[in-house]
Structure 1
Amino acid sequence: MGEIEVRELLPSEYKEWNLLVEKAQAGTLFHTSDWLEICRDALSKDFKIYGCFRKGELVGGCPLFIKDIKGMLKVATSTCNMTSYSGPLMKESASSKASKQAQETHEILNSLREFLCRQGFDSIHLTFSPGFEDIRPFTWNGWNSAVRYTHYLNLKENADNNLSMERRLELKSADEAGLKTRISNDPETYYRLLSSAYEKRNLKPPLPGGFYERVFNLIKAKDIGYMFVSETPEDEAVAAHLNLYGKKCAVIWTSALNPDFGHLGSNALLYYNEFLDLKSRNFEYMNVMAANVPTFVDFIMGFSPKLIPYYNVTLESKKYSIAKTLYKTLHKETY
């Protein structure tokens, strides 16, 4: 079948990488060089994209954020703030045989794994996209694995049939308060709502406003999503969702809510009307990235979602494991 060569991609090869992301079943916006560059610039994250080649053709790869910790530890991870998953992906197999597909997957992932192990990383953490199921080339070779979850709302179903009584009451409250929804592309509105929610808890927003501004600019330039807002009759935005388009789906990537209006059902109204809007545009499902935080889970279960697992794998050196244990011990003793 041909030996797999793995190497770091040059920036001039990012266009080829993005084409692979577009075609690969596991490819997401979070894999693209556009997204990685936003994270690099706004969050001061260094990244590399490692490509897997067979006879000169790019057939797989993995983007990684690289961090040097005080010159002592070298850490690589496929995720960062506001990027829940990315990880390895590969060209779709031309074969319809499961055995052949598995063989090709394992050849690419084994070559990638062996390459990463030679790069001198003290810790490597890869989080695969939902739908990428075969992580055995890592687990069979001593990597630890864990499962995470997201929720899918099936847009082919009837939204009204799947609502809990609590969500129905919230939608009734929103209707009685005269709340409405619309599409907006104003990053200042989103960040104002986000900042307000954090200020009420005496916290700062997790990421700078420039990060979200860059994401809005990317959405506008590439037509890859939109912001949906709930507003009062006086046109005051009280809740917002930022949605990103994926393959056959929309990813409800992040949300912001003015807690003073939470009792009026503004968030439930957003989800309900987003469901109807995306359904009318022939998307198949909504990926609601809120399955790993209990308070979010309690809310979204009122829409009867399907629980979807996705996986991560980790390899740590003895030096990193010792340093992590010492850090946890010292941190615990300060409280």
Structure 2
Amino acid sequence: MSIEVTTTDDAERWNELLTDTPRATGFHHAAALSVLERHTGATCHRLVGYKGEEPVGVFPVFTTRKGPVTVAVSPPPNVKLPYLGPRMLDRQQLKRRRAEKRNRRFVDACLEWLEAEHDPDYTSIRTTPGYDDVRPFLWQEYDATLRYTYVVDIDREPDELLSAFSTDARKNVTDEYDVNYELAEGDADDIDLIVEQVRERHAEQDESFELGSDLVRDLYESLPEGVIRPYVCRIDGEFTGGFVNVEFGGRGICWIGGAKPSVDLPVNDLLDWAYITDARERGVESYDLAGANNPRIARFKAKFAPELVPYYALEAGSRTMTTLTKLYGSLRG
């Protein structure tokens, strides 16, 4: 039986499907997709694949026009989302042959829908970790680039976690410091401070940072409580550093922040450990540290003994369009 793809504007139904979708992220939530749509100006299509009446997969994809060019992206550009893309539902254990056939038919149906409805000149997709079979895209002449992230298994006792850390990471999070500092979960106002600190850090390195704190605040206020979690460090009551994490489906993602402050305190190590210990108590099982694709950041992240986990950046379009995106990066995330 073939797979039929439809779009749904029913947020409740979409979110219900996510509960059967392993490794869906907080960015897949209907409220997050609506926020991204508002702030990027792109149109979000919540694609759902059905085999008869049985839902088999979900795929949020955004379309927009850049002059005469139609673009399809998942996630949308310039919002610093690490990944989005399709996810298969897991309502039954399928043998490999059936699972592969279902994945291929779902992807083919989604791409056929996209071609028929929007005929994009360029398409960019970044899959979530755990979505490993991207061959249906390759068979449709997509280019694939292997990417990586770091994921820490935090479903362990604190002592076991600490013993796996490097010596300096373990020392940094357990030492006592002659500094009056506080680590705590923050609020919407702290989001502004975190985003601005990251923007300033990028400016110091002559790099652009287009993500606005208004989008992050909107996500904080629109998503269910606890999905967007800012964590901050204060010294003598003054903001020193922080990051914004995304927590959904038993997994945490380090999203924004971690700019190195000019203080004699391992702020980022302490913040990561504070989040890990809190998240464990909430039943979170894994923590995506990100940063594995940047040599400088990877050296810092690797000391937490994470697993190196792959995901994929997929592109399709004319050679001219692909070259332009590599030169200007305006259509990528």
Q: Same fold (TM over 0.5)?
A: yes
Contact map agreement 1:173 1:264 (CA 8 A) in 2: no
Shift in Å, 1:151: 0.8
Unaligned residue ranges in structure 2 (runs of 5+): none
State the partner residue of 1:139: 138
State the partner residue of 1:250: 252
State the partner residue of 1:49: 46
Shift in Å, 1:192: 2.0
Q: 1:126 to 1:327 in 2, by over 3 A?
A: closer
Shift in Å, 1:59: 2.6
Unaligned residue ranges in structure 1 (runs of 5+): none
2-structure distance, mates of 1:258, 1:27: 30
| Secondary structure at the counterpart of residue 177 of structure 2 | helix
Between structure 1 and structure 2, the one with the greater Rg is: 1
Contact map agreement 2:122 2:322 (CA 8 A) in 1: no
Q: 1:199 to 1:283 in 2, by over 3 A?
A: closer
**May I ask how many residue pairs the two structures share in their alignment?**
320
Q: Quote the sequence identity (%).
A: 21
1-structure distance, mates of 2:106, 2:100: 10
1:32 to 8, 29, 32: 29
Shift in Å, 1:174: 6.6
1-structure distance, mates of 2:135, 2:268: 39
1-structure distance, mates of 2:151, 2:128: 14
State the partner residue of 2:237: 235
Q: 1:162 to 1:212 in 2, by over 3 A?
A: same
Give runs of aligned pairs for residues 63-102 of structure 1, distance below 5 A: 63-71=60-68, 73-80=69-76, 81-102=79-100
State the partner residue of 1:296: 297
2-structure distance, mates of 1:177, 1:169: 16
State the partner residue of 1:153: 152
1-structure distance, mates of 2:256, 2:194: 12
2:169 to 159, 167, 172: 167
State the partner residue of 1:259: 261
1-structure distance, mates of 2:44, 2:5: 16
State the partner residue of 2:226: 223
Contact map agreement 1:159 1:272 (CA 8 A) in 2: no
- Amino acid paired to 2:210: P
Moved over 4 A (4+): 202-205, 326-331
Q: 1:52 to 1:239 in 2, by over 3 A?
A: same
1-structure distance, mates of 2:226, 2:199: 29
Q: 1:271 to 1:95 in 2, by over 3 A?
A: closer
Cα deviation 1:260-311 (Å, max 9, x = unaligned)? 22x4111111112222222233322111122122222121112111111012
Shift in Å, 1:82: 2.4
State the partner residue of 1:310: 311
Shift in Å, 1:180: 2.6
1-structure distance, mates of 2:127, 2:328: 32
1-structure distance, mates of 2:105, 2:34: 29
Q: 1:165 to 1:108 in 2, by over 3 A?
A: same
Contact map agreement 1:127 1:312 (CA 8 A) in 2: yes
Q: Which moved more, 1:269-278 or 1:43-52?
A: 43-52
| Secondary structure at the counterpart of residue 100 of structure 1 | helix
Shift in Å, 1:330: 10
Cα deviation 1:217-261 (Å, max 9, x = unaligned)? 135x443242221121x2222121222222222112222546222
Aligned Cα RMSD in Å? Answer: 2.6
2-structure distance, mates of 1:104, 1:184: 42
State the partner residue of 1:214: 218
Tell me which of the two structures has the higher relative contact order, counting C-alpha pairs closer than 8 angstroms and 6 or more residues apart: 2
2-structure distance, mates of 1:330, 1:23: 38
